[in-house]
Structure 1
């Protein structure tokens, strides 16, 4: 196994375009786009290794690479492709994607065009982030200081402080998807007004929907107290016949008109002219926090896409029901496992409303009380740059772990892997990635650091019904609307556990801390390996036991599944990729948990 990351040895990229192209080339290599991984041969030159990809015209493309080890054997070393015949270097994403598109099946070339547009949007966003970094950092620090939370990011407590951490995370690149900072179709003014990286405040728009056309989980009385009546929106004549449904301002216009028409509501639903309820966007952008009550988040659909052209920010009614099913399942496990009670927290997502259309829906997410004095940060923010230039994890380590980020990481990983492997033993794997899990840090009654995890948005798990019923009983909550949630064997569970819990929530920090010079990757990987091995032992490692499955498919597997997000999300149609779920479409990569002496 090698633990050298591409960014540790590659020539520094001074421009946003170079940084983006490195990530794009590495992702395309990892996903074996046009055979970059399987049709290439290695060529060693004085400056390092290159991969040679033959072209149909007898020429070849050359990609400079460095050993990686995280989710791919190699990563791009320089932001370029070179033509073998004349040595010409392709150094923009447009040139690179045009050259690779020429080698693709003609039916896939539209996907390359779409991905090139994603790159253009992302590049513009990266440049905007660079231009506004000081402005946003100063605004965060001054705003939180005025609220009494202090200038040190480790003092940004409560759910209001969590929104500031969301802003930091929104300016950080995704561990896997290379164009994650781009949002399709949004310009600079829209990003400044509505995107989490700018920490804006705005008011929601609302439509009044006939009561008989609106499904409200728990009935209208379950809606939060801040929910407006039609009269509060300036529509008193509809008070007795309609209910209000929030709409993101970016959905107002053609997307809303088309949704209302498709739902048969064009003549009966009314868009209020009066905006109502000030909110701040969270990391997911389509979910917003109520300014005067940050324990209440409202998730509303948007007519845009992130992490791939087909990864649209909609809310299908079935997603809402599945989120409740996921929450109930987690609550049932916690009730059976005393050590997780009060330690594994979950937002309540049982209140929602929809009008039968993916752009006409809302989820009311209520966070647990009592977090005002706790640090509540999404995992996605830990390696983000905080005001002043240090990483957020550095500030948190100073406050809670004597300045040792590895000690902080160990405490977090011990709880995370214990919990997620326990779920696996029950036949459950969650799509609880860095955005959907928050680290909660504070001081316990004795003054010692207390570590908890806060979960949300569990509408996309993989569940083994037979094992769930065997462990939780025949009345286990399994009311998922999406049939893809269910599986009758362990492989979907281990695939999801590996790509989400291991890669995104554990491995990314081993390689990330190494990249930032905070710890050797081998040190943190050994920690992950030991903690996962301990957890597998607790589950039992006899024939057919869950721990044996984890050992065989994760700890000792010669290769591990890796998300192929660019291929499934943009480059290929579902028919071409075969992806039943674009977020669970995989390729393979090296197993960085294998010790060198047993590496294949």
Structure 2
């Protein structure tokens, strides 16, 4: 690449980041700028006029009526908006502004390193069409990590980490490393009720620590967490001297798309979720693990298994990871989840939804590679099969009074063949943040079964007294992130018309809703299919711009504004 071309790419990256950042501010409107704004049509496109700035925009419809057009100089436009920020909110705005610069630097680092990473993937695993099993899944996750989040504008940023730390531990660079181990006294560690540690779990003696005391248990620690930040956490596990770091680093792992979750290189179907001293998708969205959260994930798994068992059509098509093994020592930096993937995936393609529109080492969309392998080259057929199952499952959960935070990273597609025909399944993990309508769940499962399924959920934010919070979560995660985001991006890539993609989404959602009992079906029709506007995650506002006290968000991942309902173009009374 010539110097001129490289400089041009850097300009594109900067323009893209700031366009997304400004777009998020217009969408969430934390400072009340939109009501007085005027869109002007000019020879060079539409411009949004604000008192302190003019912003190039174009029509959109995915969660906001307009989108910011990437052009040079948008960083300066963002700086001018600072004049509209109330004094108490300036720290949040400045943190977001710094995050934008970090996002530009990360994008440039990724552009520089991506050819090396993809060449190594191709050398190790061959063409993407051959990336099967859990080793292949890790390769797809590496590709997904090069992509932006569908909504959060600076999603590639990991706060507080240097370039060298990113190169060593971020999933897109796919470097393996060894874990540190902290040996804790047995009475300081809490194990889940159904915990099954792997046979290879090290002993203190194996790690070189003799005289650790009977019942002592090693806890895996991410290298990024094993510095000075962990010193106070280790002391919290008991009297001084009872918690000791092993000098020996052991167990080679590779990061997954989540980064704080790592996969054992020699056992890639076993993942370890470990706290990290960083924040992603917002200043307040720390990647530590609060005590009790891992137990919620086990409860979520049990709840989903109970519902799936009562719906025979999901037998074998909805898969769940085993999250019953977790341990912690009462501190957000002293915890670990042992996640086991189902058996029998060796010959299947397993990939997060976030990887579908990634490009493989040959420059092809992953979804096209898989469509060629399983659907005779028909990407539309693959996406249709995906939407049918996705929406059937989530609407069924809704009818039981359950909605999941199963976004494009926590939802995986599993593709293989059965009887000479393509078989598409869905795999879910990390189900610790649902919304549950207790009365509806008890109505469907029975009081005793509902109580058993919910045993262990101690976070009262999970429970809702009506369908509203569930419908909001269903819309913002399942519909927006796992379905509509694909439709809008495919249309942007020139892969079919937006009308066709959204018409299919509406048809499959209406079809799935039509199978539900009358009550839940009426709620989804009113709040999704026929609603004049839809809830939209206000991720920047709740995660970075405002303090929790200022935003009033009990859960920063479930704080909403609203946006246009892109499904209405094919709703009742719509033309065409």
Q: TM-score range by the shorter chain?
A: over 0.9
Higher mean displacement: 468-477 or 161-170: 468-477
Q: Say whether residues 1:456 and 2:446 are aligned partners.
A: no
User: Paired residue for 2:41, among 44, 47, 59?
Assistant: 44
Give distance in 2, aligned partners of 1:353 and 1:244. 10
User: Paired residue for 1:187, among 162, 171, 174?
Assistant: 162
The 5 Å alignment of 1:294-333 reads 294-333=268-307
The residue number in structure 2 matching 1:130 is 111
The residue number in structure 1 matching 2:472 is 495
Q: Say whether residues 1:79 and 2:56 are aligned partners.
A: no
CA apart distance, 1:276: 0.8
TM-score under structure 2 normalisation?
Answer: 0.95
User: Paired residue for 1:61, among 53, 61, 67?
Assistant: 53
Give distance in 2, aligned partners of 1:302 and 1:13. 30
Q: Say whether residues 1:244 and 2:218 are aligned partners.
A: yes
The residue number in structure 1 matching 2:120 is 139
Alpha-carbon distance change, 596 to 422 in structure 1, aligned in 2, over 3 angstroms:
closer
Q: Secondary structure at the match of 1:38?
A: helix
CA apart distance, 1:371: 0.2
CA apart distance, 1:219: 7.3
Alpha-carbon distance change, 326 to 219 in structure 1, aligned in 2, over 3 angstroms:
closer
The residue number in structure 2 matching 1:29 is 26
Q: Secondary structure at the match of 1:353?
A: strand
Q: Secondary structure at the match of 1:204?
A: strand
The residue number in structure 2 matching 1:465 is 438
For the 8 Å contact 2:178–2:251, the answer to whether it is kept is yes
User: Paired residue for 2:253, among 248, 268, 279?
Assistant: 279
User: Paired residue for 2:176, among 161, 177, 201?
Assistant: 201
CA apart distance, 1:225: 1.1
For the 8 Å contact 2:406–2:431, the answer to whether it is kept is yes
Give distance in 2, aligned partners of 1:102 and 1:196. 38
CA apart distance, 1:555: 0.3
Give distance in 1, aligned partners of 2:213 and 2:427. 37
Q: Secondary structure at the match of 2:122?
A: helix
Give distance in 2, aligned partners of 1:120 and 1:92. 12
Give distance in 1, aligned partners of 2:114 and 2:475. 34
CA apart distance, 1:596: 6.0
The residue number in structure 2 matching 1:531 is 508
Q: Say whether residues 1:478 and 2:454 are aligned partners.
A: yes
For the 8 Å contact 1:204–1:248, the answer to whether it is kept is yes
The 5 Å alignment of 1:558-597 reads 558-595=532-569
Give distance in 2, aligned partners of 1:78 and 1:500. 26
Give distance in 2, aligned partners of 1:352 and 1:277. 18
The residue number in structure 2 matching 1:99 is 80
Give distance in 2, aligned partners of 1:219 and 1:158. 26
Give distance in 2, aligned partners of 1:118 and 1:530. 39
TM-score under structure 1 normalisation?
Answer: 0.91
For the 8 Å contact 2:391–2:512, the answer to whether it is kept is yes
Alpha-carbon distance change, 599 to 24 in structure 1, aligned in 2, over 3 angstroms:
farther
CA apart distance, 1:540: 3.5
Q: Say whether residues 1:506 and 2:483 are aligned partners.
A: yes
Residue deviations 1:319-369, cap 9 Å, x none? 111101100100000110000011100000001000000100000001100
The 5 Å alignment of 1:41-440 reads 41-54=38-51, 60-79=52-71, 91-93=73-75, 95-144=76-125, 151-218=126-193, 222-238=196-212, 240-440=214-414
Please list every run of 5 or more consecutive structure 2 residues that lacks an aligned counterpart in the other structure. 1-7
The residue number in structure 1 matching 2:4 is none
Higher mean displacement: 349-358 or 471-480: 471-480
The residue number in structure 2 matching 1:148 is none
Give distance in 2, aligned partners of 1:365 and 1:38. 47
Give distance in 1, aligned partners of 2:30 and 2:404. 28
For the 8 Å contact 2:136–2:350, the answer to whether it is kept is yes
Q: Secondary structure at the match of 2:34?
A: coil
The 5 Å alignment of 1:1-40 reads 14-40=11-37
Give distance in 1, aligned partners of 2:74 and 2:120. 34
CA apart distance, 1:578: 1.2
Residue deviations 1:497-532, cap 9 Å, x none? 000000000001111111111111111111110111
CA apart distance, 1:14: 4.8
For the 8 Å contact 2:401–2:438, the answer to whether it is kept is yes
Q: Secondary structure at the match of 1:171?
A: coil
CA apart distance, 1:474: 1.3
Residue deviations 1:64-108, cap 9 Å, x none? 11000111000102436xxxxxxxxxx153x33432122111000
Give distance in 1, aligned partners of 2:563 and 2:173. 35
Q: Secondary structure at the match of 2:568?
A: coil
Please list every run of 5 or more consecutive structure 1 residues that lacks an aligned counterpart in the other structure. 1-10, 55-59, 81-90, 145-150
Residue deviations 1:358-417, cap 9 Å, x none? 100000001100000000000000011111111111111111111121111000000000
Give distance in 1, aligned partners of 2:496 and 2:268. 35
CA apart distance, 1:258: 2.3
Q: Secondary structure at the match of 2:104?
A: helix
Give distance in 2, aligned partners of 1:62 and 1:500. 32
Give distance in 1, aligned partners of 2:132 and 2:240. 44
The residue number in structure 2 matching 1:4 is none
For the 8 Å contact 1:32–1:38, the answer to whether it is kept is no
- Count the aligned residue pairs: 563
Give distance in 2, aligned partners of 1:236 and 1:37. 65
CA apart distance, 1:52: 1.5
For the 8 Å contact 2:410–2:428, the answer to whether it is kept is yes
